[in-house]
């Protein structure tokens, strides 16, 4: 990091806590600190739950059971993980060049909208399923990409802050989706479109129960395959390609990138397009793999959770996927708790603790006792 | 450094464990602390109890919403109290959409014998999960779909209660001299149009000169939108506000401005503004929940489109039920007439079909339903031929999409 | 008024102030003159309470002081106007003037404040409308607000950090008038500058700093332009560089009538023409901030030309972007190693490949294997002291960082090298290496444009020396005729009589 140091010389007589920069925090430090922070977060949330009249250990046990404890729980967690991972990877990609894409939610919605449009109007019922799904995926990615290009272009051309523009576009996207599901595509004003034809559904595991009976009842859809594919592609893009190198340069020092002949605007726009496309793909997965129609509430805030997930995964594709899996389980588990609100409480506390504890990774705390006292 | 971190981590973990052990286990509370309605300890996972009949409820809002979900939760408590060997559980604030299906499926997997889902948006998720778990029963409230073995839908003739509300509101507006009532309407869907028409017809019964204003807020729950709608109609001259949305805020607003109103959904909704409240058309799910649960236990449950009426007690009009006294703001002269109509409803002499019998004109003066014709259930629910074919019901002829005579002339159902 | 004794301040890797003594007489206008990085700003930040010195003592008006913050300094009567103004754009002048003034209670009386501010403006000759909103004001007016702010807080000593840097010439003239007025009214003014002309015009006493030390303090009346230049740049002890005689080749780079603007839209390079041949080092001497940076950026394609043409080896390349200029063989060692020349968190290996990665013939993919073998070779050839080729470059010392940049820029098929202050901040050994590398490139046929504030370096290396002042070339001298005194005069914008033909 190139930021200023937190430590300052304080020539006073009192002993003080002092932050000391670590040179290069290693993987183990990362893991250890993250684990410590998670425990601290669970502890804090546990205090709140105890005050609210619950037993946190019970709650955690049943949450864990619900999210990871059975094949059903794992199934539900993996279903959640798909949109979370894809959207988070998009956010992480943009952040690799220090762009805050707060707009994953809107990009996801636009992806869902575009995929739904194709499913409802462009795919005849007799089209082969693979072709229909490919069309839906392409539409979803394109829909999200457009919603990424707009703020990317505004930033590149006019220096419009992408945090604000992407955030605003989320609301625009929601309004557009509302317009379509209540209006021209809507079924009777209830905020949903008709069901898609079967050939636009991503196959679920339970459909293969004839061959493998263990799969019966599992709703996990083949969109899960997009997760490893996206991770590998993104890792290759970032680490092995010329374009990925340009992203790294721009992210680290835009002046140096310009100096090295990187076309900054072009890079920004393409990265935002790819970032949006990943979120759009998440939207396609939701309509095609989970609900099979477009509805107003297609996303329970995946795009926003994705920011947290990407951040906690430190913008590393594989780590992001791991965090997305854990978060999926957290959401699934917390949804099983009555009364509601535990999920958001936990997410909030975890985020708060992780963000404030982040500096433990870059700094170590030392108690500094002035020599006069020591 | 790592060692130090590990030490820190274990200290924190120990502290967490200690706290969890030392602090009293809240599951012991209910025995010592007398609680009236809230028997459920907070923060529990809904689960079945072996050997009991297990019923789960999926709510769209929080149980403390004082409206739609509150009324359902009252019904749940009633079920547990009035049927032996029943264990109930609920999940609140479950978003409509993909999460609903997952949550319902998870409850089914746990083995709940009967699952009530209480929002229109749960219709398809419930239908899908019901197919996957044929040995358990599913009842979807406010929907249209059913199957032939384990999935029913349930609703009630709220229009009857709204009709009574319209009668009281009309009388009050006549008394105020404004001859104008306002309707805070959530969505332009057949249900809301039907309820609006019912209250307008009731209003015209007691005040033939009165007109009904309307504001569509496109939300079930939007405190600010509900307030604005009420204020806007009061500004336009209305002195009585009837709300179809979740909160009692429109009534409170009317009260603050010196006028009156009619909230909805739960029997105690008048408590929010007793002075300004004229009564509540409310849901009373308890008896029906008991009846259905009993049928499932007995193995006599038959999936159907359950649409119950006043004789089944599924709806009521608070202030005029047995042993109740009308709210102070209700004009005395209208009370006997309301009692009378309510009695006819109870006796099955004045049903929703009697209410919606021609001639009925719309607010532009066109004849919608000719003399002698009555609306059918499909007409009332606005089920057109296409949807009817899907549901196995006849399509509608006089489909609920028009505003009855008595609505202000420029009011219309938005597209 | 002020007495500083033995002030030292060390930043990581730099001794910014080395036992500095400074005396400022009451009611005088005192200039602090020196090149960039001479330690002027650090010293003034210490005097105004922003930094604390590592050692040394200060007296203000004969009282020993130790400032923990600018607040303490202003209480002692010392106020500083920074180059970057600290004003709230959406508030009025009066509000800004009283902003943060602890003497005000919780309640404010707006009209009284307005009157006070207006009075203060009139007294000091800095008339300003107290009700104007800051964003409506010009840069010169904002500066006035800053000054009035300091006066309002009771500053008797006013420190101005390069006050004319942001001003137009007429604005600067006005400011000088006001400064003289304030001095007559008994206030003391201390201003930082590296512009000789304004120092000669305005100051009564001049303190010259170089490399963290005070060279001398002299009354202006007793010193000439030429002497000040000599103090600023030091005695031109030439480096020990062998400049092998070579036959200069064909014309490689021609700049014709270039006009370039700086980031603020002011003309930074004005009607500038230069020619550069194969096997030639053309040194451009000048005080920092006279258009060198803009010139380098214009040649390398990073900055837009307002007018003029650039020819490379006979082809018009005017208007080409950075990417094309790189491909055409224009290498560039930028002055700002950390912020322009390298990506600090990327590895040494990646920084070597900052430009070259594009030419790998692997479609969209990077040539990682080639990258690491090249990196290994370059590390060895340039003797970079690093723990390995994967070390992030931010952990490198300045000298090693410069080696990385040179290794990268010189390992391509280059035709023209633009080198900006290539040895700034390096130790003697590293300087020697850099000079040898430049000579080696010269022998290989590269045309080198050497932009440097370091007169010694320019004189030691260059075949010809051009002097830049205010974005214009004041004169071009062949190596044989390039003498430090003459060049110093030209750098100060003064054409010596023997050249004025």
Domain boundaries, chain C: 2-233, 237-329+413-501, 345-404
Overall CATH class of domain A79-337: mainly alpha
pLDDT at C107: 65
Nearest CA to A290 among A359, A217, A201?
A201
Distances (CA, A) of B21 to B15, B24, B26, C77: 10, 7, 11, 63
Q: Tokens 């004319």 appear where?
A: C164
State the chains in contact with A (3 or more Cβ–Cβ pairs under 8 Å). B, C
- B46/A32 CB distance under 8 A: no
Query: Which residues 6+ apart lie within 8 Å of C6 measured at CB?
Result: C19, C20, C21, C55, C56, C57
Order of strands across the sheet that contains C416-420: C330-333, C416-420, C447-452, C281-285, C464-469, C472-478
Spatial contact of C398 and C371, defined as CB atoms under 8 Å apart: no
Query: Which residues 6+ apart lie within 8 Å of B214 measured at CB?
Result: B182, B183, B185, B196, B233, B403, B407, B408, B411
Spatial contact of A241 and C365, defined as CB atoms under 8 Å apart: yes
- Domains C2-233 and C237-329+413-501 equal at CATH topology level: yes
What is the nearest CA distance from C287 to chain A, expressed in angstroms? 24
- C395/A23 CB distance under 8 A: yes
* Mean of pLDDT values over A10-24: 56
Query: Which residues 6+ apart lie within 8 Å of C421 measured at CB?
Result: C335, C451, C452, C453, C454
> What are the b/e assignments for C323-333, b being 16+ CB within 10 Å?
bebbebbbbbb
CA atoms within 13 A on the CB side of B106: 34
Burial class of residue C111 in the structure, from the number of CB atoms within 10 Å of its CB (0-12 exposed, 13-18 middle, 19+ buried): exposed
Any CB–CB contact under 8 A between A64 and chain C? Answer: no
pLDDT at C237: 58
C241, two tokens: 């560089």
Q: With an 8 Å CB cutoff and a minimum of 3 pairs, decide whether chains A and C touch.
A: yes
- Dump pLDDT digits (tens) for B37-90: 444 445 677 888 999 999 999 998 888 877 889 999 999 999 999 999 999 999
Q: Checking phi first, is residue C425 left (phi over 0); if not, alpha (psi -120 to 50) or beta?
A: left
- A260/C332 CB distance under 8 A: no
CB atoms closer than 10 angstroms to residue C218: 15
Spatial contact of B399 and B379, defined as CB atoms under 8 Å apart: yes
pLDDT at C217: 93
**Which chain A residue shows the shortest CA-CA distance from B104?**
A336
pLDDT at A2: 39
Burial class of residue A1 in the structure, from the number of CB atoms within 10 Å of its CB (0-12 exposed, 13-18 middle, 19+ buried): exposed
d(CA A265, CA A271): 10
- C339/A256 CB distance under 8 A: yes
What is the nearest CA distance from A53 to chain B, expressed in angstroms? 6
Per CB-CB distance under 8 Å, the chain C contacts of A242 are: 357-358, 360, 364-366
The topology under which CATH files domain C237-329+413-501 is: Rossmann fold (3.40.50)
Q: Residues in chain C whose beta carbon is closer than 8 A to a beta carbon of chain A? A: 52, 300, 302, 321-323, 325-327, 332, 334, 336, 338-346, 350, 353-355, 357-358, 360, 364-366, 368, 392, 394-395
* Mean of pLDDT values over B263-287: 92
Any CB–CB contact under 8 A between A338 and chain B? Answer: yes
Q: With an 8 Å CB cutoff and a minimum of 3 pairs, decide whether chains B and C touch.
A: no
Q: Return the sign of the alpha-carbon dihedral for residues B258, B262, B264, B270.
A: positive
- A261/C345 CB distance under 8 A: no
pLDDT reading at B20 higher than 50: no
Per CB-CB distance under 8 Å, the chain B contacts of A290 are: 98, 101
More confident residue, B38 or A186: A186
* Dihedral of the alpha carbons of A122, A127, A128, A129, in degrees to the nearest 10: 40
d(CA C390, CA C372): 9
Mutation target among A8, A22, A244, A245 for the C interface, most CBs of C within 10 A: A245
Any CB–CB contact under 8 A between A279 and chain C? Answer: no
Per CB-CB distance under 8 Å, the chain B contacts of A338 are: 40, 42-46, 89-92
pLDDT at A214: 87
Spatial contact of B42 and A54, defined as CB atoms under 8 Å apart: yes
pLDDT at C156: 92
pLDDT reading at A9 higher than 60: no
d(CA C163, CA C171): 10
- Domains B53-156+285-309 and B158-279+319-391 equal at CATH topology level: yes
Q: State the pLDDT confidence band at B319, using cuts at 50, 70 and 90.
A: very high
pLDDT reading at B9 higher than 60: no
Per CB-CB distance under 8 Å, the chain A contacts of B93 are: 339-341
Spatial contact of A271 and A94, defined as CB atoms under 8 Å apart: yes
C26, two tokens: 């009451």
d(CA A74, CA B162): 47
Distances (CA, A) of B57 to A342, B69, B74, B228: 18, 10, 12, 33
- Dump pLDDT digits (tens) for A91-108: 999 999 999 999 999 999
- Dump pLDDT digits (tens) for A229-240: 999 999 999 999
pLDDT of chain C, 501 residues: tens digit per residue: 899 999 999 876 678 899 999 999 999 999 998 876 678 888 999 999 988 899 999 999 999 998 888 888 988 999 999 877 888 888 888 888 887 676 666 666 778 888 888 888 887 778 888 888 888 888 788 888 888 888 888 889 999 988 887 777 778 888 898 899 889 888 999 999 877 778 888 999 999 998 889 999 999 899 887 788 778 777 655 666 777 778 888 999 999 999 999 887 888 999 999 999 999 999 999 877 788 999 999 999 999 999 999 999 999 999 899 999 999 999 999 988 888 889 989 999 999 999 989 888 888 999 888 899 999 999 988 888 888 888 888 888 777 888 899 999 999 889 999 999 888 767 667 788 888 899 999 999 999 999 987 777 888 899 999 999 889 999 999 988 888 778 878 887 778 776 655
pLDDT reading at A371 higher than 50: no
- B102/A32 CB distance under 8 A: no
Domain boundaries, chain A: 22-54+339-374, 79-337
pLDDT reading at B3 higher than 60: no
d(CA C203, CA C30): 5
pLDDT at C343: 92
What is the nearest CA distance from A152 to chain B, expressed in angstroms? 30
CATH code for the structural domain at B158-279+319-391:
3.40.50.2300
Spatial contact of C448 and C281, defined as CB atoms under 8 Å apart: yes
Spatial contact of C285 and C455, defined as CB atoms under 8 Å apart: yes
- A261/C340 CB distance under 8 A: no
Overall CATH class of domain B53-156+285-309: alpha beta
Burial class of residue C290 in the structure, from the number of CB atoms within 10 Å of its CB (0-12 exposed, 13-18 middle, 19+ buried): buried
More confident residue, A340 or B68: B68
Q: Smallest Cβ distance to B5: which of A32, A56, A66? A: A32
pTM of the model: 0.77
Distances (CA, A) of A369 to A18, A21, B165, B329: 10, 18, 76, 74
Q: Respond yes or no on whether the N-terminal peptide bond of residue B359 is cis (omega within 30° of 0).
A: yes
* CATH 3.30.420.40 corresponds to the domain C2-233: no
- Dump pLDDT digits (tens) for B263-272: 998 888 898 8
Order of strands across the sheet that contains C213-219: C78-81, C157-161, C188-193, C29-33, C205-210, C213-219
The size of the A-B interface in CB pairs under 8 A is: 143
* Mean of pLDDT values over A156-170: 92
Spatial contact of C305 and C259, defined as CB atoms under 8 Å apart: yes
CB atoms closer than 10 angstroms to residue A371: 5
d(CA A103, CA A111): 12
d(CA C477, CA A252): 42
Burial class of residue C340 in the structure, from the number of CB atoms within 10 Å of its CB (0-12 exposed, 13-18 middle, 19+ buried): buried
């Amino acid at each position: 990091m190139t930021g200023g140091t937190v430590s300052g010389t304080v020539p006073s007589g009192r002993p003080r806590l002092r932050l000391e920069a670590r040179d290069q925090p290693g993987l183990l430090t990362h893991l250890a600190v993250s684990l410590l922070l998670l425990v601290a977060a669970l502890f804090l949330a546990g205090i709140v739950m105890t005050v609210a009249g619950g037993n946190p250990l019970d709650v955690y046990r049943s949450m864990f059971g619900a999210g990871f404890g059975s094949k059903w729980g794992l199934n539900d967690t993996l279903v959640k993980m798909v949109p979370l991972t894809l959207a988070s990877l998009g956010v992480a990609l943009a952040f690799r060049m220090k762009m805050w894409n707060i707009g994953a939610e809107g990009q996801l919605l636009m992806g869902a909208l575009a995929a739904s449009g194709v499913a409802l109007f462009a795919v005849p019922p007799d089209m082969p399923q693979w072709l229909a799904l490919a069309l839906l995926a392409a539409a979803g990615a394109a829909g999200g990409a457009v919603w990424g290009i707009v703020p990317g272009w505004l930033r590149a051309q006019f220096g419009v802050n992408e945090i604000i523009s992407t955030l605003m576009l989320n609301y625009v996207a929601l309004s557009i989706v509302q317009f379509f599901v209540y209006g021209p595509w809507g079924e009777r004003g209830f905020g949903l479109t008709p069901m898609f034809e079967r050939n636009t559904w991503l196959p679920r595991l339970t459909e293969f129960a004839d061959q493998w009976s263990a799969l019966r009842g599992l709703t996990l859809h083949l969109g899960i395959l997009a997760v490893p594919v996206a991770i590998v592609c993104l890792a290759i893009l970032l680490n092995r390609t010329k374009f990925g190198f340009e992203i790294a340069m721009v992210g680290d020092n835009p002046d140096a990138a310009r100096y090295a002949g990187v076309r900054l605007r072009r890079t920004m726009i393409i990265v935002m397009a790819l970032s949006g496309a990943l979120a759009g793909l998440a939207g396609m997965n939701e309509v095609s793999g989970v609900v099979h129609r477009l509805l107003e509430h297609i996303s329970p805030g995946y795009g926003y959770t994705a920011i947290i997930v990407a951040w906690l995964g430190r913008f590393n594709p594989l780590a992001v996927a791991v965090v997305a899996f854990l978060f999926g389980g957290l959401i699934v588990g917390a949804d099983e708790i009555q009364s509601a609100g535990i999920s958001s409480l936990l997410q909030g506390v975890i985020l708060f603790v992780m963000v404030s504890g982040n500096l433990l990774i870059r700094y170590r705390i030392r108690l500094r006792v002035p020599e006069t006292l020591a | 450094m790592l060692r130090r971190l590990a030490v820190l981590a274990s200290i924190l973990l120990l502290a967490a464990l200690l706290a969890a052990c030392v602090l009293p286990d809240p599951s012991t509370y209910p025995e010592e602390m007398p609680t009236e309605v809230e028997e459920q300890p907070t923060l529990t996972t809904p689960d079945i109890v072996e050997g009991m009949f297990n019923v789960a409820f999926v709510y769209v809002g929080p149980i403390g919403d004082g409206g739609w979900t509150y009324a359902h939760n009252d019904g749940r408590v009633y079920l547990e109290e009035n049927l032996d060997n029943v264990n109930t559980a609920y999940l609140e604030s479950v978003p409509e959409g993909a999460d609903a299906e997952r949550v319902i499926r998870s409850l089914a997997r746990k083995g709940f014998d009967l699952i009530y889902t209480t929002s229109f948006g749960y219709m398809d998720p419930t239908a899908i999960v019901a197919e996957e778990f044929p040995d358990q029963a599913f009842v979807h409230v406010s929907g249209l779909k059913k199957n032939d073995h384990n999935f029913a839908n349930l609703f009630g003739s709220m229009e009857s209660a709204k009709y009574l509300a319209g009668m009281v509101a009309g009388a009050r507006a006549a008394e105020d001299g404004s001859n104008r009532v306002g309707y805070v309407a959530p969505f332009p869907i057949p249900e809301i149009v039907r309820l609006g028409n019912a209250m307008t017809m009731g209003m015209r019964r007691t005040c033939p000169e009165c007109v009904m204003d309307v504001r569509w807020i496109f939300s079930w729950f939007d405190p600010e939108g509900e307030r604005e709608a009420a204020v806007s109609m009061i500004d336009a001259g209305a002195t009585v506000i009837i709300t179809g949305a979740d909160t009692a805020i429109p009534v409170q607003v009317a009260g603050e401005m010196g006028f009156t109103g009619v909230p909805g959904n739960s029997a105690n909704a008048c408590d929010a503004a007793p002075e300004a409240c004229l009564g509540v058309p409310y849901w009373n799910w308890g008896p029906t929940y008991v009846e259905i649960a009993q049928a499932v236990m007995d193995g006599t449950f038959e999936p159907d489109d359950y649409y119950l009426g006043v004789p089944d007690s599924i709806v009521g009009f608070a202030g005029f039920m047995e042993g109740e006294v009308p709210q102070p703001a209700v004009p005395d002269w209208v009370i006997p007439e309301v009692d009378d109509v309510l009695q006819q409803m109870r006796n099955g002499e004045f049903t929703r079909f009697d209410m919606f019998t021609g001639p009925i004109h719309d607010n532009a003066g066109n004849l919608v339903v000719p003399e002698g014709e009555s609306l059918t259930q499909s007409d009332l629910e606005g089920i057109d031929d296409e949807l009817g074919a899907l549901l196995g019901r006849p399509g509608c002829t006089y489909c609920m999409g028009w505003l009855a005579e008595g609505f202000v002339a420029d009011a219309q159902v938005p597209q | 008024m002020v007495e500083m004794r033995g002030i030292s301040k060390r930043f990581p890797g730099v001794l910014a102030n080395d036992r500095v003594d400074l005396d400022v007489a009451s009611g005088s206008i005192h200039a602090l003159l020196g090149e960039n990085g001479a330690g002027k700003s650090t010293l003034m930040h210490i005097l105004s309470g922003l930094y604390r010195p590592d050692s040394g003592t200060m007296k203000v008006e004969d009282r020993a002081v130790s400032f923990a913050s600018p607040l303490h300094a202003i209480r002692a009567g010392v106020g500083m106007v920074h180059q970057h103004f600290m004003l709230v754009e959406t508030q009025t002048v009066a509000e800004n003037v009283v902003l943060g003034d602890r003497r005000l209670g919780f309640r404010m009386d707006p009209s009284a404040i307005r009157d006070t501010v207006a009075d203060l403006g009139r007294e000091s000759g800095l008339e300003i409308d107290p009700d104007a909103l800051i964003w409506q004001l010009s840069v010169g007016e904002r500066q006035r607000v800053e000054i009035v702010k300091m006066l309002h807080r009771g500053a008797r000593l006013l420190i101005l950090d390069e006050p004319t840097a942001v001003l137009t010439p007429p604005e600067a003239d006005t400011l000088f008038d006001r400064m003289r007025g304030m001095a007559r009214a008994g206030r003391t003014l201390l201003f930082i500058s590296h512009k000789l002309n304004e120092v000669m015009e305005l100051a009564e006493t001049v303190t010259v700093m170089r490399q963290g030390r005070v060279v001398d303090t002299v009354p202006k009346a007793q010193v000439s332009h030429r002497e000040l230049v000599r103090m600023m740049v030091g005695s031109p002890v030439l480096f020990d560089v062998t400049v092998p005689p070579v036959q200069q080749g064909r014309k490689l780079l021609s700049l014709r009538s270039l006009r370039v603007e700086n980031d603020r839209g002011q003309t930074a390079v004005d009607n500038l023409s230069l020619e550069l041949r194969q096997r030639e080092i053309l040194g451009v001497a000048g005080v920092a901030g006279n258009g060198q940076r803009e010139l380098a950026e214009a040649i390398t394609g990073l900055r837009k030309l307002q007018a003029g043409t650039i020819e490379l080896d006979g082809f018009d390349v005017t208007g080409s972007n950075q990417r094309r200029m790189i491909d055409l063989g224009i290498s560039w060692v930028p002055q700002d190693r950390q912020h322009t020349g390298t990506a600090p968190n990327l590895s040494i290996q990646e920084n070597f490949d900052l430009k070259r990665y594009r030419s790998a013939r692997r479609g969209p993919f990077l040539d990682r294997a080639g990258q690491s073998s090249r990196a290994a070779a370059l590390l060895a050839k340039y003797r970079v002291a690093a723990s390995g080729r994967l070390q992030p470059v931010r952990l490198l010392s300045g000298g090693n960082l410069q080696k990385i940049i040179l290794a990268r820029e010189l390992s391509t098929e280059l035709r023209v090298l633009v080198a900006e202050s290539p040895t700034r901040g390096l130790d003697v050994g590293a300087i020697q290496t850099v000079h040898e590398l430049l000579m080696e490139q010269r022998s290989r046929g590269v045309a080198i444009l050497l932009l440097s504030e370091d007169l010694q370096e320019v004189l030691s290396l260059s075949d010809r020396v051009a002097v830049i002042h205010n974005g214009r070339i004041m004169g071009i001298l062949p190596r044989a005729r390039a003498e430090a005194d003459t060049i110093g005069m030209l750098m100060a914008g003064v054409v010596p009589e023997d050249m004025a033909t």
